[in-house]
Structure 1
């Protein structure tokens, strides 16, 4: 088992990957640097190997697929995940590692948004999107995480081996954050500096399509992790609509004794029935979510025992 593993998912990062590997080797000389290539068509692999990284491959396209492969294959006491585009300075890695090793953090978030992100990043919609996602998740899940979508993080062994990677693409950071919040795992923030990509290095993110995927991912995860809240809100909306359209029909019936808008009355009835069904769906799924949390805690105990065995074997 490695003491520290630095994980760098890469897709066509020949302009920056060599520098990123060398920077992290300088800051964390005891770490093993892993570069996972995701079907690059340039010299990413060659330059990563030249810089001293262990290069492996994931042939299913997408950052989520790469991270799934990393988490399955590597055992370490602490993991540092960063991007290969040289936007995250390596000098903050030691503080993030110490948060895991000495303060029992399960996930440490490299917080760009509290420092230089909004001045360095030249894409205004990305700035807006990061703020929107941060505000939405912190309100929905009652957290105080400062940067939801940062790619610079540190993890404990227990987090990595109990995190079910479901996302295939850039929604993975959002999924990590919500998983940690729902499972009551310790999340610490470390303020980092952010620098924009160097000239000639192109982002793989599509502002609109990837942003839409992230928002859809938040809605799905909220439904799965907080089903009573999700379906309760849906029931409230349906009930308000039903009552809102029913009141004029009722008032006219009181005044004239007639119901000339039978289709509206029928629609109101169906909407109210759907609201009641939503409440019961939320109750049933909430019981399932509670059971899932209990199973997670039992699995966490097993993972922790395995972690201790690995450390003993290394000694």
Structure 2
């Protein structure tokens, strides 16, 4: 069974050598790939000196790097970690074991149940992690602890069927929602977290990247649960319509007169839009079900091709 350690990097010269060395020590059997994303320092050179296989992705953004890594690397287990030395390498074998034993399609290193809130010195990041966790657990009826961790391991089925849409740091949220929506097995393991070492700077922008994550959640909720999404929109429009219609109805009952025809026309239009939204949700949910059926068939084909490949190898 082949394991690949994937490390997306952008200007991590201060830490990448140590990260590669730690994983070579903890997982000597694994191939370690460092994907450099237009670094302006000597990240790539230091990674190569430490023994990593260095490749490049010139489209900026972590999501773009993950797309290329998943397409180019072939393995049975993929361990992904950031190059900032915030995750001790000893989490790798634990997540790897869960994937290779078939217990997880995505094994997650859970920072939030461990040392994250004491080590991380950025309060808005703490708040954002909790907010995103609560939103996803509520919208997708899950009980996950850490949505945005950069420490993960994946099965081959997950990697080769995951269509990367995000370009930046919202990629972790997209992975989680994809796993939940397609019934992949998710396991979480509490892991230690340490803040970046002195002189190493985070590439995250608290506000702009936070807004991108929230936008990603809304869009993926719409795409994966269209009936629920459009039903909520329809309900909001109907409540607004009813709020404006109620005074008109009371006046008509009391006086037999309707003198707010423009308001009544707008209410009628909102009601029609609400009904159209609901039926759009119904139609899209049928299409989503068909897409899910096709996805399961594609997974079956992937398994069959893998079996035939193994038979040919023997």
**What is the TM-score of this pair, normalised by structure 2?**
0.98
Q: Distance in 1 between matches of 2:313 and 2:64?
A: 29
Contact 1:16 1:86 in 2 (8 A): yes
Matches within 5 A, 1:107-118: 107-118=106-117
Structure-2 change in CA distance of 1:303 and 1:41 (3 Å):
same
The separation in 2 between residues aligned to 1:41 and 1:75, in whole angstroms, is 28
| Structure 1 stretches of at least 4 aligned residues deviating more than 6 Å after TM superposition | none
- Provide the C-alpha distance between the structure 1 equivalents of 2:207 and 2:57, rounded to a whole number of angstroms: 26
1:155 alignment partner in structure 2: 154
Instruction: State the partner residue of 2:202.
Output: 203
Distance of 2:237 and 2:256 partners within structure 1:
27
Deviation at 1:310, TM superposition (A): 4.4
Q: C-alpha separation between the residues in 1 aligned to 2:46 and 2:304?
A: 38
Partner of 2:302: 303
Take 1:142 and 1:89, find their aligned partners in 2: how far apart are those partners?
31
Aligned twin of 1:184: 183
Residue number in structure 2 paired with 1:226:
225
Q: Structure 2: any 5+ residue segments left out of the alignment?
A: none
The secondary structure found in structure 2 opposite 1:135 is helix
How much does 1:306 deviate?
Answer: 2.7
Residue 188 of structure 1 aligns to a residue whose secondary structure is strand
Shift of 1:313: 5.4
Deviates more, 1:159-168 or 1:100-109: 100-109
| Rounded Cα–Cα distance in structure 1 between residues aligned with 2:262 and 2:19 | 65
The secondary structure found in structure 2 opposite 1:79 is strand
| Cα separation, partners in 2 of 1:134 and 1:313, compared to 1, 3 Å | farther
Counterpart of 2:44 in structure 1 is: 45
Residue 255 of structure 1: how far off its partner (Å): 1.3
Per the alignment, in what secondary structure is the counterpart of residue 61 of structure 1? coil
Match of 1:57 in 2: 56
Question: In the alignment, which residue of structure 2 is the partner of 1:173?
Answer: 172
Q: CA deviation at 1:309?
A: 4.0
Tell whether 2:88 aligns with 1:92. no
Equivalent residue number for residue 15 of structure 1: 14
Q: Secondary structure at the match of 2:55?
A: strand
1:261 Cα deviation after fit: 1.5
Q: Contact conserved, 1:21 with 1:53, CA < 8 A, in 2?
A: yes
Q: Tell me, in whole angstroms, the C-alpha distance in 1 between the residues paired with 2:201 and 2:309.
A: 40
- Give the match's secondary structure for 1:234: helix
1:29-86 Cα shifts (integer Å, max 9, x gaps): 0000000000001010110000000000000000000000000001101000000000
Name the structure 2 match of 1:28: 27
Q: Please state whether the residue corresponding to 1:306 is helix, strand or coil.
A: helix
Return closer, same or farther for 1:264/1:171 CA change in 2, 3 Å cut-off: same
Which moved further from structure 2: 155-164 or 296-305? 296-305
Structure 1 distance, partners of 2:76, 2:44, is 26
> Secondary structure in 1 aligned to 2:76?
strand
- Whether the aligned pair in 2 keeps the contact of 1:157 and 1:307 (CA below 8 Å) is no
Three-state SS of the structure 2 residue aligned to 1:210 is helix
CA offset at residue 314 of structure 1? Answer: 5.6
Q: Secondary structure at the match of 2:167?
A: coil
User: What's the secondary structure of 1:263's corresponding residue?
Assistant: helix
CA separation in 2, counterparts of 1:145 and 1:162? 22
TM-score scaled by length of structure 1? 0.98
Other structure's SS at 1:200 match: coil
Are the aligned partners of 1:37 and 1:58 in contact in 2 as well (CA < 8 Å)?
Answer: yes
Equivalent in the alignment of 1:80: 79
